[in-house]
């Protein structure tokens, strides 16, 4: 059942109340542009042309820009998160499929999905300088960096591996086999455990990375096409999109168990959690829509038409991560 937002009754407050006026950004991978959505009425305001295949995005440490990674264009598009105006385009960034800043703000790490490498860029607050290009394995997919900014983890989608990269030495320190088609990766706050979504399966694989050698601990069954993570904002739970099952699973990080499931039609992919934690934004990859889920009612609250193959989604007014 769809719950209308905007003209909704008082019993179902619209998420716009917590979002103020900060726009929501959705990357349309096959249209090579970004949908800018006004959360006060859930209308698409405009499209921002980027480069070919924008898949993921990340915020600069000073929170003045969001960076859209255009994988096939070998470029990064910097956009003002408040005004949705393009600030600049940086070219010569080879195959930036996924990206993440280290917590100490010194490194930007990108995964070259089609070129089979991970790049380490130094960041001085303004410019990027390539420090090292590291050949990895087949099809590096997603990246996680530990809280100490010492280790970057990257999944290898087509060689079924998890790789750990020492950021100081700029080299691979270990690799371990995973289940089929590992995608997103998420680390616990104590840096001892890493979760990997197995898109070729129906589970999350849990690894102990606290020692010199990693160990696979268990698998958490979620749903077919287990894919992408997003912190729930309460420092205890994380959401996972199950792309084939058309569901979102909520995982308790203290017990490593699924505690809730939500419907998410159209091939759910990337997510963001709106300020306050109640409303979950998820791109419906095969339906050309942004889906808003009310986690209190457990229902789809609204869907917004966007472009072809929507992938990354982000807003400045998000819950804590």
Is 249:239 a contact under the CB 8 Å cutoff?
A: yes
| C-alpha span between 8 and 294 (Å, rounded) | 13
- Smallest Cα–Cα separation from 158: which of 222, 190, 111, 219? 111
C-alpha dihedral over 39, 285, 318, 97, to 10 degrees?
-130
Quote the pLDDT of residue 7.
31
Query: In Å, how far are 187, 201, 236 from 221, measured between CA atoms?
Result: 18, 9, 18
Percentage helix, strand, coil for the chain under 3-state DSSP, each rounded to 5? 0, 55, 45
Q: Is the Cα dihedral 57, 60, 64, 65 positive or negative?
A: negative
| C-alpha span between 99 and 112 (Å, rounded) | 9
Question: Which 3 state secondary structure label does DSSP give 238?
Answer: strand
Query: In Å, how far are 4, 105, 200, 201, 311 from 226, measured between CA atoms?
Result: 28, 30, 8, 7, 15
Residue 4 has pLDDT above 60, yes or no: no
Split at pLDDT 50, 70, 90, the class of 10 is very low
- Smallest Cα–Cα separation from 257: which of 235, 236, 227? 236
Task: Return the DSSP state at 30.
Answer: T
pLDDT in tens, 265-283: 999 999 999 999 999 999 9
Task: Return the DSSP state at 48.
Answer: E
More confident residue, 126 or 154: 154
Within 8 A by CB and 6+ apart from 211, the residues are: none
| C-alpha span between 98 and 153 (Å, rounded) | 12
Split at pLDDT 50, 70, 90, the class of 64 is very high
Quote the pLDDT of residue 163.
98
pLDDT in tens, 167-177: 999 999 999 99
Backbone angles phi, psi at 19, to 5 degrees: -90, -15
Split at pLDDT 50, 70, 90, the class of 126 is confident
Distance in Å from the first CA to the final CA of the chain: 29
State pTM to two decimals.
0.92
């Amino acid at each position: 059942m769809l719950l209308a937002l905007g003209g909704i009754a008082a019993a179902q407050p619209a998420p716009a109340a917590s979002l103020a006026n900060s726009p929501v950004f959705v990357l349309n991978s096959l249209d090579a542009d970004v949908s800018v959505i006004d959360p006060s009425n859930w209308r698409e305001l405009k499209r921002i042309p980027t480069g070919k295949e924008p898949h993921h995005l990340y915020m600069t440490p000073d929170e003045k820009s969001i960076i859209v990674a255009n994988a096939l264009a070998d470029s990064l598009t910097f956009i003002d998160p408040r005004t949705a105006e393009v600030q600049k385009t940086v070219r010569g960034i080879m195959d930036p499929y996924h990206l993440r800043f280290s917590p100490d703000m010194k490194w930007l790490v990108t995964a070259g999905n089609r070129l089979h490498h991970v790049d380490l860029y130094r960041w001085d607050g303004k410019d990027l300088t390539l420090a090292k290009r590291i050949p990895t394995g087949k099809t590096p997919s997603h990246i996680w960096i530990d809280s100490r900014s010492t280790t970057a983890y990257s999944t290898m989608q087509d060689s079924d591996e998890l790789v750990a990269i020492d950021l100081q030495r700029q080299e691979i320190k270990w690799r371990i086999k995973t289940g089929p088609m590992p995608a997103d990766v998420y680390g616990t706050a104590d840096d001892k455990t890493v979760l990997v979504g197995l898109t070729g399966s129906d589970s999350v694989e849990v690894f102990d990375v606290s020692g010199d050698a990693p160990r696979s601990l268990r698998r958490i069954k979620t749903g077919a096409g287990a894919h992408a993570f997003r912190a729930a904002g309460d420092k205890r739970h994380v959401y996972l999109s199950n792309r084939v099952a058309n569901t979102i699973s909520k995982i308790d990080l203290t017990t490593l168990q699924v505690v809730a499931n939500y419907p998410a039609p159209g091939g759910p992919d990337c997510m963001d959690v709106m300020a306050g934690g109640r409303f979950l934004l998820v791109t419906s990859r095969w339906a050309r829509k942004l889906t808003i889920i009310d986690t209190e009612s457990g229902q789809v609250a609204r869907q917004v038409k966007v472009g072809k193959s929507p992938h990354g989604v982000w807003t400045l007014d998000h819950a804590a991560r």
